[in-house]
Amino acid sequence: MADNDDLLDYEDEDQTEQVAAEPAEQPKKDVKGTYVSIHSSGFRDFLLKPEILRAIVDCGFEHPSEVQHECIPQAVLGMDILCQAKSGMGKTAVFVLATLQQLEPTESVPYVLVMCHTRELAFQISKEYERFSKYMPSIKVAVFFGGLPIQKDEEVLKSTNPHIIVGTPGRVLALIRNKKLNLKHLKHFILDECDKMLEQLDMRRDVQEIFRNTPHGKQVMMFSATLSKDIRPVCKKFMQDVRRTSISTSTSTTTRTPTSVVVAVVHLERYRRRRPARFVVKRCQPLNHLQTVKIGPRRRRAIGTIT
């Protein structure tokens, strides 16, 4: 872990605000093992763009998985996410749908960067972006990985000007060093199977150098099937006020943020930029009095049920 100090630590001192909580009816719940969820009619609950919902229907998906229920409401608000869930639980769709939902390209520059440790996974992720953005023709996706001449990747960057880039750290860093890839407008930085990249010191150094070539105020999301105690602090070095989620087939836990609300109006402040939104999270208990809530550098004002 010698390289831990190479990144800024965004853990700021928590602030304290008074939040007025009004009585709220406890929602009807389903119990799946020890997992508690709120009834949902499907992906429409996330208020996604019509183009995205149409693509979801074409893919045959009706109801979000548990990890999607847990993470998408926070991810679409631009919150930093550290998610651990077993393979096959739909982690890829979390960041694909969340970034497509937030993407409003005004220039032909990269806004989303997704990195993974193998070319096969990079190719699969790029296909997922193409599948869910099929009704968003203005969105361009490109995938870059080693084993092919880098000149071809440079030509793709020049000719297509992609908004979404998927690739392996080595090839992405090579394009940056050759001054063919500029990430100064990047808004979303995602690592899939993050433990595979951050456990290897050489690959971790590549990720860190790429990270330092991106803006300070971006969203960071990391996903993995396994996260060791040694890797979790490394992941958090990349993040601000991270929302950590761990989901298995029988249980789900969310940590870091001490608030849990039924319906809330959230104000995210990231370097003088605010945007209000509504979202729903789970495992709520009614509370009928003022509650002091610790919050981090991003200000959360919640109106509703707070635990």
CATH code for the domain of 159: 3.40.50.300
What letter would DSSP give residue 13?
A: P
For residue 111, tell me if it sits in a domain.
yes
Q: What is the pLDDT of residue 7?
A: 58
Percent of the chain with pLDDT over 90: 55
pLDDT, position 298: 41
Number of domains in the chain: 1
Q: Provide the pLDDT for residue 247.
A: 66
Asked if residue 306 is part of any domain, the answer here is no
- Do the beta carbons of residue 195 and residue 228 sit within 8 Å? yes
Q: What does the block give as tokens for 134?
A: 């099929």
3-state SS class at 283: coil
Between 258 and 69, name the one with better pLDDT: 69
For residue 301, tell me if it sits in a domain: no
- Give domain status of residue 27, yes or no: yes
Residue 136 has pLDDT above 80, yes or no: yes
Each residue of 240-269: pLDDT tens digit?
Answer: 877 777 765 444 444 443 333 222 333 333
3-class DSSP assignment, residue 85: strand
> Which two structure tokens, joined as six digits, stand for 226?
């396994």
Across 34-53, average pLDDT: 70
Q: Quick check: 71 and 245 in contact, CB under 8 A?
A: yes
Residue 6, pLDDT score: 56
* Three-state secondary structure readout of 199-242: HCHHHHHHHHHHHHCCCCCCEEEEEECCCCCCHHHHHHCCCCCC
302 within a domain of the structure (yes/no): no
Look at residues 260, 300, 253 and name the one whose alpha carbon lies nearest to residue 284.
Answer: 260
pLDDT band at 42 (very low <50, low <70, confident <90, very high): confident
**Structural domain of 108:** 4-295
Q: Mean pLDDT of all residues in the chain?
A: 76
**What is the rounded distance in angstroms from the CA atom of residue 176 to the CA atom of residue 178?**
5
The DSSP H or E segment spanning 29 is strand 29-32
Let me know if residue 303 belongs to a domain. no
What percentage of residues in the chain have a pLDDT greater than 70?
67
Asked whether the predicted pLDDT for residue 161 surpasses 90, the reply is yes
